[in-house]
Homo-oligomer: A and B are copies of this chain.
Amino acid sequence: MQFFKVKTVEETFTLIDDKITRIQDTEERPLEEALHYILAVPVTAKENVPGFDRSTVDGYAVKAKDTYGSSESMPGFLTVAGEVRMGEAADISVNSGEAVYVPTGGMIPPGSDSVIMIEHCEDLDGLLNTYKQVAPGENIIRAGEDIREGERVLSEGTVLRPQELGALASLGITHVTVYRKLRVGYLSSGDEIVPYQTQTLLTGQIRDINHLTILGLAKEWDIDVVYGGIVKDDYQEFQSKAKELYDQVDCLILSGGSSVGAKDYTTEVIQSLGSPGVFVHGISIKPGKPTILALAEGKPVIGLPGHPASAMIIFKLFGEKILRKLKGEEIEKRPDRIFARITKNIASAPGRSDYIRVRLVEKEGEWWAEPIIGKSGLITTLVKSDGIVEIISEKEGISQGESVPVIATR
């Protein structure tokens, strides 16, 4: 067996950045089913949005100069020459001294350059009293003001949020070319691990908790999970199951067996899957030291630590980074990265990154992070937490009141 030097968290992130490249498979999806997918082909506008000058209010289209000087005490007077109907072209022109009614979203009639809101005028049997002056362009959105024909609206790599879908719909685009959804495989190993559905445990047996936490996190990242079941500590069985699952997925996750114990076949199994193999074997992190990261013929393989709470934190930290890189998404912009002030001093060994579970409390317009006490193996410490604070490896701890980055797990 090869020997590996334990890596720092920072080294691990750099290695992930260097080694993981996005999948290239794309597919065509209708907009209704494209939420959170990543655009594989940029989108250029084939028309203006809006397609015509529109009113942003209910009011009267006028020549702005006809309203100059109007006020509550000295109203101006205009003749109402007609109205524009929604969904129809404005077939009437506005001449000097005239006003034409336009509803919100209605087309601006030719001859007018602004709209006076109905709240600021009064239609007295065809005579419009104006109580306010308007400036040219006021209450109008111009054709192409939102999106201009020929403009690059969205670039390749854009994550399609609701607003991007709205912008695409405004252009009449019905389908987009996106990178396809990722599929990860999850396989648990260990003589002591039994399906979580097992009702009565024999002494020494442990339920497969990671199955559920990994599934939940992957779902939150819009990734499908293929469950490979549980294998015993037997190299042949482990290797053949791992290979079978690896062949079906974009990334393989192995749970358990990554400690330096006698029955540890995980490294061997991972190395058997392809080159270049393991690039991280042990991370200077608490919790989660016995983590393995590998790349087998372009597919990432993650060997998680066995403790459920450690496994979840490691998967949230490194798994998410790996999978978002594989998707072609930037992780730094995620809403679950926030900042908070720590409520008490926390010591940490230099050279090791510590991940502290915290409760988040809002105080006077700031988040405060309150550390949760409990051994790192306990799943309940995660249940009680709203986030995880990172103490980077260069630091010997953090002082009360210090602002720290938090990965929200709310």
A112 at the interface (CB under 8 A from B): no
A32 at the interface (CB under 8 A from B): yes
Q: How many chain A residues touch the partner (CB < 8 A)?
A: 105
CA gap between A338 and B339 in the complex, in Å: 8
A19 at the interface (CB under 8 A from B): no
Query: Which of A56, A216, A336, A385 has most chain B Cβ within 10 Å?
Result: A216
> Which of B147, B199, B233, B408 makes the CB contact (< 8 A) with A86?
B233
Which residue on chain B has the smallest CB distance to residue A194?
B87
Which residue on chain B has the smallest CB distance to residue A217?
B162
B163→A211 contact, CB < 8 A: no
A73 at the interface (CB under 8 A from B): no
Interface of chain A residues 368 through 410 with chain B (CB within 8 A): 375, 377-380, 382-383, 385-386, 403-405, 408-410
B87→A212 contact, CB < 8 A: no
Copies of this chain assembled into the complex: 2
Given contacts A204-B87, A207-B169, A216-B35, contact A146 B366 (CB under 8 A): no
Residues of B within 8 A of A332 (CB): 362
Residues of B within 8 A of A50 (CB): 206
Interface of chain A residues 2 through 17 with chain B (CB within 8 A): none
Which residue on chain B has the smallest CB distance to residue A360?
B333
A185 at the interface (CB under 8 A from B): no
A151 vs chain B, min Cβ distance (A): 9
Query: Which of A57, A147, A203 has most chain B Cβ within 10 Å?
Result: A203
CA gap between A49 and B381 in the complex, in Å: 13
A76 at the interface (CB under 8 A from B): no
Given contacts A56-B307, A162-B312, A172-B199, contact A87 B205 (CB under 8 A): yes
**Could you say which of A127-135, A244-252, A254-262, A348-356 contacts chain B?**
A254-262
A156 at the interface (CB under 8 A from B): no
Given contacts A379-B167, A383-B154, contact A335 B410 (CB under 8 A): yes
A125 at the interface (CB under 8 A from B): no
A259→B162 contact, CB < 8 A: no
A192→B335 contact, CB < 8 A: no
> Which of B104, B169, B377 makes the CB contact (< 8 A) with A211?
B169
Residues of B within 8 A of A88 (CB): 191-192, 203-204
Chain A residues near B (Cβ < 8 Å): 31-32, 35, 47, 49-52, 56-58, 85-90, 103-107, 118, 141, 145-147, 153-154, 161-170, 172, 174, 190-193, 196-199, 201-217, 219-220, 233, 259-263, 306-308, 312, 332-336, 338-339, 360, 362, 365-367, 375, 377-380, 382-383, 385-386, 403-405, 408-410
Q: Knowing that A90-B204, A163-B382, A167-B382 touch, tell me 14 more A-B residue pairs with CB under 8 angstroms.
A: A32-B212, A51-B203, A86-B233, A87-B205, A87-B206, A104-B259, A105-B192, A162-B220, A163-B312, A163-B379, A166-B379, A333-B360, A335-B408, A339-B365
A-B CB proximity, top 9 nearest: A162-B216, A87-B192, A169-B196, A89-B203, A87-B191, A163-B382, A166-B213, A335-B408, A165-B212
